[in-house]
Amino acid sequence: MSGAQQAERLRPADLRLEAAAASGDRFVALDAWRGLAALAVALYRLEVDGSFYALSFVRNSWLFVDFFFVLSGFVIAFAYLDRIQDTRSTLKFTIRRFGRLWPLHVAMLLAFVALEATHLMRGEAAFQGAKAPWTLLPEMALAHGLGFTGLTDWNSPSWSISTEFWTYLVFAALVLGFRRRLALAATAMVAFSLAALVSLSPNGMDVTFDYGLLRCLAGFFAGVLTLIVWRTVKDKIALPAPTALEIAAAAFAIVFVATAGRTWLSFAAPFVFAPVVLVFAFQRGALSRLLITRPMQAIGEWSYAIYMTAYFIALFFNLKLAPRFPDAPMDAIAIAYLATVLLASWLAYRLIETPTRAWFNRLAAKI
């Protein structure tokens, strides 16, 4: 090991994160954004009558799912736009993305199946209707969010995981077929998806199992366009007043979420979150320096687990804990809930996400 490598190993974690941000090799500030957005969505799922849920921002935080889509399009395009070249590289890409999403999805699905089985043990009706045994098949195939099977009632937030996986395949196909005109193809995808949503959805962007694929396509390819813009300008301009821009972008996102709700304004979500991603992709302001600290990065690392485990935990708090303690401060219950979500997410990240992702990555590397 060289002296430079030894020095790098001895550097504090925060310094390594700063170096990664400065080099542009990783969007560490955006990683933390993903974690904070996941916590906001988790808090939205806790329906206890406290000061948190009284905030319109919290009640509308389901809109951060669209932030996930935009950010995913940006990051995936950054990582794979130049790597997807042929059938082999597309297969490797598909295996890696499948391995990123599927294992934790299935783990949580099994947790819900076990919960449903407890009803059978008590002699109650179970595995009926939206939880009939056949509904597990599209869930296992990540096809349950495509609008073909109707509403299922397992881990409801996983509809977005289903749509995102199939959107990855659309992205790979467009890269292979329209690489030189990808900006035009992505623009057409955003325009088509949003136009369809405007004509079909009575609740703004709040579509899931029915038209969720359109919602994902709109956000994801808005993120792809954001990456194309970032690539074009990153070496040509210096971000003016980066701290002020970051504060303005964050405030813009918060105000939008708090006010848009399920109105027609929510259709603008991809166009609101895209500039937020673009500003923080430069990682130059004071907020970015806060976001690259280890606590914020830990939340970012656990973001997928936060999103996937929160609904299961919220069911317990909503149906069991809060009714048993009606006189307890609801804000204290909310804080206990978030702490439980963070603990469960850390365990899921360590025990499920990390080893299974490594296994699928090794599988892809063998191709």
- Residue keyed to tokens 């988790």: 42
Kindly state the average pLDDT of the residues 217-222. 98
Quick one: which of 263, 157, 154, 269 has its CA closest to 208? 157
3-state secondary structure of 93: helix
Kindly give, in sequence order, each residue whose CB lies less than 8 Å from that of residue 353, ignoring residues fewer than 6 positions away.
Answer: 103, 104, 304, 305
Residue 18 has pLDDT above 90, yes or no: no
> Is the Cβ–Cβ distance between 314 and 46 less than 8 Å?
yes
The pLDDT assigned to 10 comes to 37
The pLDDT assigned to 327 comes to 65
The pLDDT assigned to 19 comes to 46
Max mean pLDDT among 199-203, 254-258, 326-330 falls in: 254-258
Kindly state the average pLDDT of the residues 339-351. 96
Torsion, CA 35, CA 352, CA 73, CA 232, rounded to 10: 80
Quick one: which of 89, 274, 75, 79 has its CA closest to 173? 89
The pLDDT assigned to 125 comes to 83
Q: 73-82, 228-237, 350-359: which has the minimum mean pLDDT?
A: 228-237
Backbone angles phi and psi of 286, in degrees to 5: -65, -35
Q: 167-171, 236-240, 300-304, 327-331: which has the minimum mean pLDDT?
A: 327-331
The pLDDT assigned to 151 comes to 65
Residue 9 has pLDDT above 50, yes or no: no
The pLDDT assigned to 126 comes to 80
Give per-residue pLDDT as tens, 146-163: 887 666 678 999 999 999
Domain map of the chain by residue range?
A: 13-365
Kindly state the average pLDDT of the residues 58-85. 95
